[in-house]
Amino acid sequence: MESFKLTLQRQVSPLHSSIKLVVFADASTQAMAACAYVVAADKSHLVFARSKLANAKTHPTIPKMEMFATTMAVRMAQTIYKALADQLKISSIVIFTDSEIVLSWLATYPIKRDVGRFVTNRVAEIRAIVTI
């Protein structure tokens, strides 16, 4: 570990330039994560990442973990947008998930009641933040 060095640039793009915010979300049976990149014309920079372990007591299903990871990504995008909007022109925000069931839950309107309270609440939160 002594030879390990990591250099992070503080400036991700010139002030008031146009950028794209790209956020990725994924989950497994053991953990979930989301990471956000600022993409300029010829460069991209990791600006934020977060991970969370699954609750060992409740053993949530993979679809619920994927839903939580997607919710975490949407919250992350909102936080980053609020922090950078006055300094950079964010032309678009793109959030990626590989979960077809989460995309199906988000696309179904109105949400079916049999999906449970957890999913219903997360879908409502995401819809309140994002225009799909």
Domain borders along the chain are: 18-129
Report whether CATH 2.120.10.30 matches the domain 18-129: no
CA 89, chain centre distance (Å): 19
Which pLDDT score is estimated for 9? 64
- How is residue 94 annotated by DSSP? E
For residue 27, how many other CB atoms are within 10 A of its CB?
A: 27
Which pLDDT score is estimated for 41? 79
Average confidence score pLDDT of the chain: 88
> Helix or strand or coil: residue 1?
coil
Which pLDDT score is estimated for 123? 92
Which pLDDT score is estimated for 132? 60
Query: Which residues have C-beta within 8 Å of that of residue 129, sequence separation ≥ 6?
Result: 74, 75, 77, 78
Which pLDDT score is estimated for 112? 80
The answer to whether 15 touches 85, Cβ cutoff 8 Å, is no
- How is residue 88 annotated by DSSP? S
Identify the segments of the chain with pLDDT beneath 50: none
Residue 19, beta-bridge partner list: 90
Predicted TM-score (pTM) of the model is 0.85
